[in-house]
């Protein structure tokens, strides 16, 4: 068999390993093996590429792999689970940038040869450049927002929107010119610059609480960028792998949107949550939120038979995942049935809360979804809301005029008792008041989530 | 449109469908590992980066290729390792 055929078959095999690997991610028992299978697929693809005759020297390859491998290793080993969204954003950005640079290099090679560029190659290169650049700069802004370097508020300004539209049209025009008329490097670099700015404008317009959607969408883009690089190189292995990731990101994006009952366009362009506090008066005097202290909370929890914890982003901020598990263990030891109900958009990326709870050794079986809990909510003695707000807001169900109307919620207000651990009565990300706080069967525990859970656990020990 | 591009499009569309099929089966609890794992797979452009660096047609191309290679390697190595780290957390409870 000729060498190119062997290499092509190796790419096919590696794509098959990716598919098998992702398939195994559907259960926690098979998932680690699936991930390793995908890693083997990647190793195979790299090994096959090194056989390619185009490769003349290995010095720079060794330098690049050693440097990248070391950085990747350190990042993966040291990142905190609460910071996982930032890290995935960075990796998305790097993947997008790598794909984009492959397209840039191909354009430079073609233009260096001086031949006219074929339309096929040109379109692939332009698509790769645009998607790669937008993915890179967008992911970097997402990282900045998640890390708190850039303000998490949605930056919305009609002028910026016009600039974004002009840039988008301009880069499309430039792409058409480059492919159809002439490869002018000045025009090409302008296109790269415009695409980078476009990525920044795209993400700064989106608020912190909508980050799960953005991270998922950028994940999809990084896959599409890899596919585009595959079209540039005429490599089906890249096309398949990129398409898998593109599909994965799209599915997660649509799941996140559905979990908020909002369209993707609404998430991307509506500046949701930027007008914080305006509607959150809480001034009507007849509504009283009843507060509760650790001892009484412990009493209620300790003598309950079914308890559901509802964690939100506040749990991650307070790093309280271990504290919640310690409390749950004490309760379990007393014969209390404990589960955790995680809303799909809780946290800053899909599945974020589940990872934190898994880190704290919460058994996989105790993690459940709103649909598992809501139908039998009346049987739940206590629903404990920790650092979540909008996802338990009954207005989503009761008030069709509410901004979050129709968003599926965890209906804690239907539990026999609900306890909300929160710093204050302030509104959540959506900027709207939460009537749950004022229900007769609700108690407010004011304080930091980690301290509150620790104090309650101490009291439970005394029972 | 040439045959190569056409075949590429066929492959792309079919692979998207395969992706939709297998990924909808992943439960929400495992969505973060799914993301970081699929993210590592998108580092497949390491293949393209290797070719650019290895061919080393000009100093500029080499630098571009090297930047692409470093970033793609970070994406691949970091992505698979951190996914493994997370999945071990999900798994550990079944044993004890």
Residue spans of the domains in chain A: they are: 79-269, 294-462
Q: CA-based Rg of chain B, rounded to a whole angstrom? A: 18
Residue in B69, B43, B39 with CA at minimum distance from that of residue B54: B69
> Contact at 8 Å (CB) between A87 and B67?
no
HEC string for A134-156: HHHHHHHHHHHHHHCCCCCCCCC
Q: Which residues of chain A carry a pLDDT beneath 50? A: 274-284
The total of other beta-carbon atoms located within 10 Å of residue A29's CB is: 12
Q: Is B5 within a domain?
A: no
How many angstroms separate the most distant Cα atoms in chain B?
A: 58
Which residue do the tokens 């799914």 mark? Answer: B34
Position B88 in a domain: yes
Q: Is residue B11 part of a domain?
A: no
Domain assignment present for B90: yes
What residues form DSSP beta bridges with A367? A340
CATH number, domain A294-462: 3.40.50.1220
Q: How many interface pairs between A and B have CB atoms less than 8 angstroms apart? A: 384
Q: Which of A79, A105, A252 sits opposite B35 (nearest CB)?
A: A252
| CA nearest to A268, candidates A344, A195, A217 | A217
* Residue A116, burial from CB neighbour count under 10 angstroms (0-12, 13-18, 19+): exposed
- What whole-number distance in Å separates Cα of residue A358 and Cα of residue A99? 33
pLDDT at A272: 63
Question: CB contact, 8 Å: A62 with chain B?
Answer: no
A31 vs B contacts (CB less than 8 Å):
30, 33, 87, 90-91
Q: Is-contact A424 A447, C-beta < 8 A? A: no
Contact of A356 with chain B, judged by CB distance below 8 Å, is answered with no
Task: Write the CA distances from A172 to A60, A176, A179, A239, B9, integer angstroms.
Answer: 34, 6, 11, 22, 21
User: How far, in Å, CA of A392 to CA of A280, rounded?
Assistant: 16
Q: How far apart are CA A369 and CA A268, in angstroms?
A: 26
Report the complex ipTM: 0.93
Nearest Cα neighbor of A216 from A163, A288, A147, A268 is A268
* Cβ within 8 Å of B, A 83-102: 84, 87-88, 91-92, 94-95, 97-99, 101-102
Residue among B1, B8, B25, B45 with most chain A CBs within 10 A, to mutate: B45
Closest B-chain CA to A55: B54
Q: Is B85 on the interface with A (CB under 8 A)?
A: yes
Range of the domain at B65: 28-95
Residue B87 domain-assigned? yes
Which of A210, A390, A413, A433 is flagged as catalytic? A390
- When the pLDDT of each residue in chain B is averaged and rounded to a whole number, the result is 89
**Is the CB of A87 less than 8 angstroms away from the CB of B73?**
no
B28 interaction partners in chain A (CB closer than 8 Å): 255, 342, 344, 350-351, 354, 369
Separation in Å, CA A350 to CA A340, B35, B74: 16, 8, 22
Q: How far apart are CA B73 and CA A400, in angstroms?
A: 49
Which residue from B33, B77, B87 is facing A72, i.e. has the nearest CB?
B77
Torsion on CA atoms A24, A25, A28, A29, rounded to nearest 10:
20
Element spanning A306, H or E: strand A306-311
- Tell me phi and psi for residue A67, to 5 degrees: -65, -50
> From the CA of A11, how many Å to the nearest CA of chain B?
10
* Assigned token pair, A294: 């650790």
- Contact between A342 and A354 under an 8 Å Cβ cutoff? The reply is yes
Give chain A positions within 8 Å (CB) of B68. Answer: 97-98, 101-102, 105
Are A55 and B62 spatial neighbours (Cβ–Cβ below 8 Å)? Answer: no
Is B52 part of a structural domain of the chain? yes
Alpha-carbon distance A167 to A334, whole Å?
62
Asked if residue B39 is part of any domain, the answer here is yes
- Say how many domains are in chain B: 1
Measured at the alpha carbon of residue A235, what is the angle toward residues A229 and A241, in degrees to the nearest 5? 70
User: Taking the CB of residue A222, how many other CB atoms lie within 10 A of it?
Assistant: 37
Top residue of B6, B47, B80 to mutate, by most chain A CBs within 10 Å, is: B47
Is residue B6 in a domain?
A: no
Give Cβ neighbours of residue B91 (< 8 Å, ≥ 6 apart): A28, A29, A31, A32
Residues B52-77: tens digit of each pLDDT: 998 878 889 999 999 999 999 999 99
**Alpha-carbon distance A22 to A33, whole Å?**
10
* Residue A390 annotated as catalytic: yes
Using only C-alpha atoms, what is the Rg of chain A?
25
């Amino acid at each position: 068999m000729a060498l190119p055929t062997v290499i092509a078959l190796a790419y096919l095999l590696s794509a098959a390993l990716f598919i098998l690997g992702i398939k195994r991610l559907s259960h926690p028992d098979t998932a680690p093996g699936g991930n390793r299978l995908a890693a083997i697929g990647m190793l195979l693809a790299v090994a096959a590429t090194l056989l390619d005759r185009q490769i003349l020297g290995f010095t720079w390859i060794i330098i690049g792999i050693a440097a990248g491998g070391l950085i990747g290793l350190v990042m993966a080993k040291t990142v905190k689970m609460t910071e996982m969204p930032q890290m995935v954003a960075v990796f998305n950005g790097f993947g997008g940038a790598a794909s984009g640079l492959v397209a840039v290099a191909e354009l430079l090679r073609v233009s260096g040869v001086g031949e006219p560029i074929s339309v096929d190659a040109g379109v692939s290169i332009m698509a790769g450049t645009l998607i790669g650049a937008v993915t890179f700069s967008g992911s970097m802004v997402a990282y900045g927002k998640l890390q708190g370097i850039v303000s998490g508020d949605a930056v919305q300004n009609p002028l910026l929107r016009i600039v974004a539209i002009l840039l988008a049209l301009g880069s499309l025009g430039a792409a058409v010119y480059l492919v159809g008329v002439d490869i002018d490097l000045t025009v090409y670099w302008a296109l790269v610059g415009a695409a980078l700015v476009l990525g920044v404008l795209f993400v700064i317009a989106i608020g912190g609480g909508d980050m799960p959607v953005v991270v998922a969408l950028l994940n999809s883009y990084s896959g599409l960028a890899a596919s585009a690089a595959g079209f540039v190189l005429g490599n089906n292995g890249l096309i398949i792998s990129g398409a898998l990731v593109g599909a994965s990101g799209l599915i997660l994006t649509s799941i996140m949107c559905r979990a908020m009952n909002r369209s993707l366009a609404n998430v991307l362009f509506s500046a949701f949550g930027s007008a914080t506090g305006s509607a959150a008066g809480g001034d009507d005097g007849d509504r009283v939120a009843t507060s509760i202290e650790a001892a009484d909370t412990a009493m209620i929890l300790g003598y309950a038979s079914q308890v559901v914890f509802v964690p939100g982003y506040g749990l991650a901020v307070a790093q309280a995942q271990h504290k919640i598990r310690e409390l749950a263990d004490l309760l379990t030891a007393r014969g209390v049935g404990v589960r955790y109900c995680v809303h799909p958009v809780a946290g800053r990326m899909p599945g974020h809360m589940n990872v934190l709870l898994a880190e704290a050794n919460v058994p996989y079986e105790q993690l459940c979804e709103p649909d598992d809990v809501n139908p039998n909510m009346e049987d739940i003695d206590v629903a404990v809301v920790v650092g979540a707000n909008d996802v338990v807001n009954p207005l989503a169900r009761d008030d069709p005029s509410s901004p979050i109307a129709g968003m599926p919620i965890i209906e804690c207000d239907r539990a026999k008792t609900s306890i909300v651990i929160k710093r204050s009565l302030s509104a959540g990300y959506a900027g709207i008041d939460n009537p749950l706080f004022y229900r007769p069967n609700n108690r407010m525990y004011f304080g930091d989530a980690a301290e509150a859970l620790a104090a309650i656990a101490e009291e439970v020990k005394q029972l | 449109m040439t045959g190569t591009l056409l075949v590429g499009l066929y492959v792309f569309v079919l692979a998207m469908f395969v992706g939709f099929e297998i990924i909808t089966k992943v439960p929400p609890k495992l969505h973060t590992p799914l993301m970081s794992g699929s993210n590592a797979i998108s580092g497949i452009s390491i293949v393209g980066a290797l070719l650019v660096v290895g061919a080393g047609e000009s100093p500029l191309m080499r630098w571009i290729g090297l930047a692409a290679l470093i970033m793609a390697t970070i994406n691949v190595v970091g992505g698979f390792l951190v996914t493994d780290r997370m999945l071990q957390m999900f798994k550990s409870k079944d044993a004890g």
